[in-house]
Amino acid sequence: MTEKRLKTGSDFTWRNLEVGNVITETGNAALRRTGDWRTQRPVTDVEKCNKCGLCWLHCPDAAIKPLKDGYYESDLFYCKGCGICAKVCPKGAITMIEEKEE
Amino acid sequence: MSRRVGLEASHAAAEAAKMANVDVIAAYPITPQTHIPERLAEMVADGELNAAYIPVESEHSAMSTCLGAAAVGARTFTATAGPGLEYMHNVLYVASAMRLPVVMTVANRALSAPLSIWGDHSDAMSVRDTGWIQVFCQNSQEAFDMTLWAFRVGEDPTILLPVMVHFDGFHLTHVTEPVILPEQEKVDRFLPNFHYPFALDPDKPMTLGAFAPPDIYSEAKVAQEMVIRKSKAVIIQVFKEFGDIFGRYYHPVEPYQTQGSKTLLLTMGSFSETAKTVIDMKKDRGESVGLINLRLWRPFPFEELRRAVKDAETLIVFDRCISFGGPGGPVSSEIRSALYSEKEKPKVVSLVGGLGGRDMSAKDFEYVIDRGREVAEKGSEELYETVGIRDKVSGIRG
């Protein structure tokens, strides 16, 4: 099975766009990297985390995944760095740190 | 058997929608369009027409509902006028860009303020660039014919564009005239069932109306532009097929007594009929005058217009709208630009009148032709002049 790739503008000319710009391959939002314009990223201090899951509940992009050990992890492919998880964390376990080019 | 009945343009358009067997009607009543949705609501309530009549709370909702209906493959109809057309303005662009062939009749009405419920073409001109195919009607028969024709053109599988049918508020919407209603069998032959190739279907999910970042928006707009330009050939073909079945042949540009005429007057909509009477009167007096009725407004019929006016010396374009601070009447400025690079072309004179229901009698059109000729002979560089106003304003220049 070939890996699904998100089509971008350069895949199209005006001639091969679908009529009315209809997208016939649906469910492709998961392929879109929404985390590429993040300026801050959440970092969790597991010493403080009590596994309450509020960060996971509040994340507007469903970018926080539960781990097997009960802790939570941000998926930086999708995380836009909004900081809601840090704000709602009752233990202050999440810190937003500046995103720097590596 | 076809029937010859007395109908106002509003009821003629409603009859056309009924004979087209529309599936969905969503409209908000507004003067002078009201009789159209009223009549259709009555037909649905009486069981004459098997359609969903969806009452909505605004014109914005009316057009949005039509988009949804067309997107599931329903044959969809609506009607509006003046401020109602303005209120649905942004949704008009969505209909054309999503290639949803909604048909809408517009009972042309002036725009406020001052508040006016009467007719002119300010509403039509404001939606010029919305990407809809647009035609104008001269009488009730044409309101019927163009509405029927609109479904066939818009739904053509190579086109799939919404179509606006303009007819003058009150001058047509509220005036009873003889209309020939054809046999249903002929209508069915002319207008097959609508099959929308991208109809929403839970078993075949698709995304309609998606977001377009800057790297694709331009391509989407060019695709839209190319299809409306291409639609002219289909428009002409369907005019011909309409004529072959119903016996009335229409054209994008309709010349009347233009052969060898030095001066031509160009009008749109119901005023063309009054103007024709004046042309006949003047012809009888030996004057070299003719008329051009511009039926197709979008896509603009460049070739046909150039051909129709190339031998004339003066072309007087009569507009029912002012482009404030602009180059004159909107139709005249388009025509000036259509002729700009032609070697042989008439001098174009722009005259504006008939605003907000101001009547234009035969005598007024006599003045329009005489004044237009006078302006052309003087070689004036005036942008335009508004006729029939008290304390005339002359000499508006760019």
Residues 186-205 in B contacting A (C-alpha not used; CB under 8 Å): 197-198, 205
Give the pLDDT confidence of B63-76 residue by residue, as tens digits: 999 999 999 999 99
Domain count, chain B: 2
* Rounded percentage of chain B residues whose pLDDT exceeds 90: 95
Give the pLDDT confidence of B353-368 residue by residue, as tens digits: 999 999 999 999 999 9
User: Residues A84, A87, A92, CA angle at the centre, nearest 5°?
Assistant: 130
Which among A8, A9, A23 has the least Cβ separation from residue B206? A23
A101 pLDDT band, cuts 50/70/90, is low
- Rg, Å, chain A Cα set: 18
Average pLDDT, chain A: 91
Cβ distance B393 to B385 under 8 Å? Answer: yes
Give the pLDDT confidence of A57-87 residue by residue, as tens digits: 999 999 999 999 999 999 999 999 999 999 9
Over 60: is that where the pLDDT of A2 sits? no
Give the pLDDT confidence of B144-154 residue by residue, as tens digits: 999 999 999 99
**Is B208 within 8 Å of chain A by CB?**
yes
**Is B389 within 8 Å of chain A by CB?**
no
Same domain, residue pair B369 and B331: yes
Q: What ipTM does the predicted assembly reach? A: 0.84
Q: Kindly state the average pLDDT of the residues B269-276.
A: 97
Same domain, residue pair B223 and B261: no
What DSSP letter does each residue of A33-91 carry, written as one string? --GGG-SEEEEE-TTT-----HHHHH-TT--EEE-TTS-EEE-TTT-----HHHHH-TT
Give a yes or no: residue B93 inside a domain. Answer: yes
Q: Kindly state the average pLDDT of the residues B184-203.
A: 95
Q: Tell me the CATH number at B91.
A: 3.40.50.970
B36 pLDDT band, cuts 50/70/90, is very high
Q: Kindly state the average pLDDT of the residues A89-96.
A: 97
d(CA B223, CA B229): 10
Over 60: is that where the pLDDT of B379 sits? yes
Same domain, residue pair B234 and B333: no
Same domain, residue pair B193 and B301: no
Task: Cite the beta strand spans of chain B per DSSP E.
Answer: 3-8, 24-27, 52-55, 76-80, 103-108, 133-136, 163-168, 176-181, 253-256, 263-267, 289-294, 296-298, 314-319, 347-352, 385-386
Give the pLDDT confidence of B208-222 residue by residue, as tens digits: 998 898 999 999 999
Give a yes or no: residue B396 inside a domain. Answer: no
Cβ distance B305 to B321 under 8 Å? Answer: no
Which domains are assigned to chain A? 33-98 (3.30.70.20)
Same domain, residue pair B268 and B334: yes
Q: By CA distance, what is A16's nearest residue in B?
A: B223
SS3 readout for B150-190:
HHHHHCCCCCCCCEEEEEECCCCCCCEEEEEECCHHHHHHH
